[in-house]
Structures are given as C-alpha cells and as structure tokens.
Amino acid sequence: MYDFARGPLVWIAFAIFFGGSVYRIISTIMLAKKDKVILPYMRTKYGLRSIAHWLIPFGSRNMRLRPFFTIMSFLFHACLLLTPIFTLGHIALWQESWGVSWWHLPDTLSTLMTFIVVAGGVVFVLRRLSDPTVRMVTSFGDFVVVLIVIAPFVTGLLAYYQVFDYRTIITIHMWTGAIWLASVPFTKIAHMLFFPLTRAYMGCEFGYVRNARDW
C-alpha cells in the first residue's frame, strides 16, 4: 500500500486532478456558448475587478457583516491551499523524486496552519448543524466533502506527532491526500475551479452591462 501510494497513486491523483479540472473548465466554457448570453458580455476588467473584491478579506459587504466567519473562512482556505505546497515533508518528497525544491514553511507554522484547516472544518460542520438556515440546505454529501478535505490534514498531524504506527498513518495520509486531489473536479470542491468563472461572469453582468457593483 505504501509503495503504491508513494508511486502510482500520486500520479493517478495528479492526473485526475489536472485532467479533470481542465475538462470541467473547458466543458463549462463550451456549454457557455450554448447559453448564448454569457461569453459576449465577458470583459477582463470587470471580471478581475469582481474577483479581486471577493479575494480580498472584507472586500465585500457580506464579509464585513460577519467578521468572525470571514476571518475563519479566509484562514481556512489560505491554509488549505498553502500548507500542502510549502510543508517541508512534501517538498522533501519532491526533492527525493524529482530533484526540485522550494521555500518551505517553518515547522511550527505549518503545524499551526494544519490545525487551522482542521479547526475550520470542524467549525463548518458545527455551523451546518447549528444554524437552521444552513442545516436546511445541507446534505450528507456536504459532510463528506468536509471529511475529504480535512482528512489529509488530520492524518498529517497524526503522522507529525507520530501517533499510532507511523507507516500506517503516513499511508493513510497519502491515500486521503490523493482522494482529496482527485475529488476536486468531481465534487463540491469544484467550487474552487468555478469561482473565477462565476465571479467574473457576475462581475461583468453587474459592472460591464449594468454599471453597478457586485460586492
């Protein structure tokens, strides 16, 4: 299992992640042509303007209305994306296999960031359970997605702190990481792919077409 995870699984996971992502984005753009009224109104300026407002913390009114959630959400997403890329252990593997390496996070910081992701996931789940509005629109799949997302981080922490058998844990860590990657294009995690598209479209409908702001 370990050898498979260390070898082919990574390939498969990255292939599904990149291939699937490209497929989803291209098929969406093709489908947008059928809608007729999308592409003719797309303008870089207004698309980027909208994306920028929603990528900057407190850049939109809705973010300002709920500061705790905004901070948590930004920390969660930032840590989720950055930690795997800049963790020393991961870079060591790249170095070992491909001879490439880059700057890494100090150990304590990457550990903290991992905790933030796990904590964020827990808060999301608690919010889904406690807020009646969110609970009403929550399906079982929404919990599964959180599980998929935080599983590699939980197992990463367990491996870091050498809880249980390290080799077992690290194997599970690799598997959960692979599942996480491969899930991106085909689960709700695809929102990371579609965010620029939907945001840019709305930014253009508001800004380019209607001379109004959408943040």
Partner 1 sequence: MKDTPESRVIDPGLDETIKKLTPEHIERVVQHVLTKENAARLKVYIDTCVHCGLCAEACHTYLSRDCDPDYSPVGKVKNTLWELIKRKGKVDGEFVKMMSRVAFTECAVCRRCSMYCPFGIDIAYLLMIVRRICSLLGVVPQYLQDTTNSHAVTSNQMWVHQDEWIDTLQWQEEEAMSEVKDARIPLEKEGAEVMYSVIAPEPKILAQLLGNMAQIMKVAGIDWTMPATDGWDNSNMAMYSGDFEVMGRVERLHWETAARLKAKKIVMGECGHAFRGAVYDGPRWLGWKFPPIPMVHAIEFYYDILKSGRIKVKEKFKEPVTVQDPCNTVRGRGLGPKLRYVVNELCENFIDVNPRFEHNYCCMAGGGTINCGPPWKRSRMVSNRVKAEQFKATGAHIVITPCHNCHSGIEDVIGFYKLGMHVKFISEIMVEVMDVPDELKP
Partner 2 sequence: MPDASNWDWAVEKKTVADLKQLRDKFKGVHEFVVSPDGEKIAAPVVTEENSFTAAINSDTWPEMVELLWYLRFLPDGRLTALVRIDDQWTLMVDGVPWNERFEYAWDPRPCASGSAIGMMIKRDFKYGIAIDDKVWEEGFDGIRDYALSPDGSRAAATVQVAPLAEADIFAFSEGVWSIAVDGKAWDKKYLNTWKPIFSADGSKVAAEIRTDICEYSISVDGNDWNDRFGCVWEPLFRPQNGSVIAPVRKDGFWRLAENGKTIWDGKYNQLWQVKFSPDGSRIAVIASPEYGRWTIAVDNAPWKRIWEDMVLEPHFSPDGKRVAAIVKEVNRWTIAVDGNPWGEQFDMIWDPVFSPCGKHIIAKAERNGRFMIVADGKPVGPQYDALWDPIFSADGTKILLKYIENDKYCRQVVSASDVLG
Binding site for partner 2 (CB under 8 A): 36-37, 40
Name the one range near partner 1 by CB under 8 A: 2-10, 55-63, 89-97, 111-119. 55-63
Q: Of residues 99, 100, 133, 140, which one binds partner 1 by CB under 8 A? A: 133
CA distance 107 to 109: 5
Contact string 90-119 vs partner 1 (x = CB under 8 A): ------------------------------
Assess contact for 22 and 194: CB atoms under 8 A: no
Nearer to partner 1, 86 or 206 (CB): 206
Residue 159 has which token pair? 């491996």
CB of 210 to partner 2, least distance (A): 17
Other C-beta atoms lying within 10 Å of the C-beta of residue 101? 13
**Residue 150: half-sphere exposure toward Cβ, Cα within 13 Å:** 20
Question: Which parts of 12-41 interact with partner 1 (CB under 8 A)?
Answer: 28-29, 31-32, 34-35, 37-38, 40-41
Assess contact for 117 and 80: CB atoms under 8 A: yes
E strand map for the chain: none
CA distance 24 to 21: 5
Assess contact for 113 and 83: CB atoms under 8 A: yes
Task: Report the helix count and the strand count for the chain, using DSSP H and E.
Answer: 11, 0
**Alpha helix positions (H), 131-213:** 132-136, 140-160, 166-183, 191-203
Q: Does 130 bind partner 1 (CB under 8 A)?
A: no
What's at 46, amino acid-wise?
A: Y
Question: What does 108 bind: partner 1, partner 2, none (CB cut-off 5 to 8 Å by kind)?
Answer: none
Name the one range near partner 1 by CB under 8 A: 95-103, 133-141, 149-157, 176-184. 133-141
Q: Of residues 50, 110, 155, 176, which one binds partner 1 by CB under 8 A? A: 50
Q: Does 183 bind partner 1 (CB under 8 A)?
A: no
CB of 46 to partner 2, least distance (A): 18
Residues that bind partner 1 (CB under 8 A): 28-29, 31-32, 34-35, 37-38, 40-41, 50, 54, 60-62, 65-66, 131-139, 142, 145, 188, 190-191, 194-195, 197-199, 201-203, 205-206, 209-215
